[in-house]
């Protein structure tokens, strides 16, 4: 038996279904409908067992693909009888995801500190913005490219001698935005387990993406990141950390053979001897070495290179495209596996390749019944425009 004072299950108990419960089961999350980062934070919470209710606007047509394991109700937040439903739900909720620009919640009469936390001290209000809430850009509109530009991250991305290259909206919206907001929510939940109180979580994509770039930021005075954009070890400057087109046009191979032993395996696979090639440590010879690799990779198809490098330590792998992965039956998995309390499995019919499908109002009636015991026609009704409204104003907090 453990003597630390903490309960630890015996190994055989881990096979009991109780230990397969999702880690966030019982956590109630209200997600105000938004774009990209807010819904992604909600998706992560939903995948790990939280009950996530999206609040849609009347007559809205949602293109949101990040709706797996969520439900929805439609509320007119400018109508008191509809707003009161949100207020009632927030008295029992654990988390509110606010994706709006600064000041929107306050104008709706939903100030986190002046209203929400006073009525529900355990509530965690996660506020997701693009720019910092206290910076010079706080009142400006922006998108992923603007946030990573301000953070300093965009300046590091792109080929040598070329303009900075924005890598889709992965770094700002999702990595520095939704995923960071998700982490903030988890930290606040941990804090609440000690203090009994919720709090406001303020996440923004400028700080989130800048934090992700901690390694190159701190490495500017090292050999790895001391050169201009596109001329460093890990940003396309190094010939043995790059991608190469193969014989079949448009199909590429990725090479990351940084360590000497891995580089040696790469050279062997390419059919060379180390002594035949320029010294890999000589940066002045990197352009020559790149041309040698470029020419050699063009001699075989991607499949042929796979046959050579699969199972080796050459750090050489094919660059798969999304359509290929989908066609081959690749299934997306949750981003981390918890052995005893795993995430909810991604539906087999989706496999990570389809999303959306959650229409405004889907599952909302059941969620109101589960969360607060309300019944349609008795406690609330649905207007012609889809908005849920309370009957007799009895939902006020």
pLDDT in tens, 187-213: 999 999 999 999 999 999 999 999 999
Structural domains of the chain, count: 2
Residue 385 lies in a domain: yes
Residues 262, 145 share a domain: no
Residue 57 lies in a domain: yes
Residues 55, 198 share a domain: yes
Strand-by-strand arrangement of the 316-319 sheet? 241-245, 252-256, 316-319
Residue 70 lies in a domain: yes
Residue 16 lies in a domain: no
The predicted model scores a pTM of 0.89
Question: Which residues are CB-contacts of 151 (< 8 A; sequence separation ≥ 6)?
Answer: 172, 176, 205, 206, 207, 209, 210, 213
CATH of the domain at 54: 3.40.50.10540
Residue 229 lies in a domain: no
Residues 251, 188 share a domain: no
**Element of type H or E holding 222:** none
Residues 301, 153 share a domain: no
Express each pLDDT in 164-175 by its tens digit. Answer: 999 999 999 999
Question: Which residues are CB-contacts of 308 (< 8 A; sequence separation ≥ 6)?
Answer: 269, 300
Structure letter (DSSP) for residue 376: B
Query: Mind telling me the catalytic residues?
Result: 173
Question: pLDDT per position in the chain (397 positions), as tens?
Answer: 333 333 344 444 444 444 568 899 999 999 999 999 999 999 999 999 999 999 999 988 878 889 989 999 999 999 999 999 999 999 999 999 999 998 999 999 999 999 999 999 999 999 999 999 998 999 999 999 999 999 999 999 999 999 999 999 999 999 999 999 999 999 999 999 999 999 999 999 999 999 999 999 998 888 788 899 999 999 999 999 999 999 999 999 999 999 999 999 999 999 999 999 999 999 999 999 999 999 999 999 999 999 999 999 999 999 999 999 988 888 888 889 999 899 987 776 666 788 778 899 999 999 999 999 999 999 999 999 999 999 875 544 4
Residues 362, 313 share a domain: no
Q: How many other C-beta atoms can be found within 10 angstroms of the C-beta atom of residue 101?
A: 16
Q: Where in the sequence is the domain holding 253, given as residue range(s)? A: 241-321
CATH of the domain at 270: 3.30.1540.10
Residue 371 lies in a domain: yes
Residues 133, 189 share a domain: yes
Question: Which residues are CB-contacts of 217 (< 8 A; sequence separation ≥ 6)?
Answer: 152, 210
Structure letter (DSSP) for residue 27: -
Q: Which of 160, 154, 158 is nearest to 227 (CA)?
A: 160
Residue 144 lies in a domain: yes
Residue 230 lies in a domain: no
Residues 256, 130 share a domain: no
Q: Are 73 and 55 in contact (CB under 8 A)?
A: yes
Secondary structure of residue 335 in the 3-state scheme: coil
Question: Measured on CA atoms in the order 17, 20, 25, 26, is the torsion positive or negative?
Answer: positive
Residues 139, 178 share a domain: yes
């Amino acid at each position: 038996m453990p003597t630390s004072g903490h309960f630890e299950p015996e190994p055989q108990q881990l096979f009991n279904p109780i230990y397969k419960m999702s880690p966030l089961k019982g956590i109630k999350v209200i997600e105000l409908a938004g774009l990209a980062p807010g819904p992604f934070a909600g998706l992560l919470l939903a995948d790990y067992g939280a009950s996530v209710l999206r609040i849609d606007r009347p007559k809205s047509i949602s293109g949101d693909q990040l709706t797996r394991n969520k439900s929805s109700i439609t509320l007119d937040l400018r109508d008191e009888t509809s707003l009161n439903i949100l207020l009632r739900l927030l008295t029992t909720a654990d988390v509110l995801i606010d994706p709006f620009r600064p000041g929107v919640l306050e104008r709706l009469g939903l100030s986190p500190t002046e209203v929400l936390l006073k009525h529900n001290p355990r509530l965690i209000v996660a506020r997701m913005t693009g720019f910092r809430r206290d910076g010079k850009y706080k009142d400006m509109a922006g998108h992923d490219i603007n946030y990573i530009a301000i953070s300093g991250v965009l300046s590091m991305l792109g080929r040598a001698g070329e303009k900075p290259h924005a890598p889709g909206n992965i770094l700002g919206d999702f990595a520095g935005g939704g995923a960071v907001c998700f982490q903030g929510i988890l930290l606040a939940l941990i804090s609440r387990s000690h203090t009994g109180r919720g709090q406001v979580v303020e996440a923004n994509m400028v700080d989130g993406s800048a934090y992700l770039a901690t390694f190159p930021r701190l490495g500017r005075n090292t050999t790895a990141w001391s050169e201009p954009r596109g001329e460093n070890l890990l940003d396309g400057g190094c010939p043995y950390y790059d991608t190469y087109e193969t014989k079949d046009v448009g199909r590429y191979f990725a090479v990351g053979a940084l360590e000497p032993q891995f580089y040696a395996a790469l050279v062997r696979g390419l059919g060379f001897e180390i002594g035949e090639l320029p010294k890999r440590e000589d940066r002045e010879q990197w352009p020559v070495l790149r041309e040698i690799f470029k020419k050699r990779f063009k001699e075989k198809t991607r499949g042929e290179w796979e046959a050579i490098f699969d199972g080796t330590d050459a750090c050489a792998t094919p660059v798969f495209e999304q359509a290929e992965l989908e066609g081959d039956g690749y299934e997306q998995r949750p981003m981390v596996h918890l052995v005893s309390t795993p995430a909810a499995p991604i539906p087999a019919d989706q496999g990570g390749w389809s999303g959306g499908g959650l229409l405004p109002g889907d599952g909302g009636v059941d969620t109101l019944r589960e969360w607060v015991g309300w019944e349609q026609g008795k406690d609330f009704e649905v207007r012609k425009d889809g908005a849920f409204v309370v009957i007799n104003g009895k939902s006020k907090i």
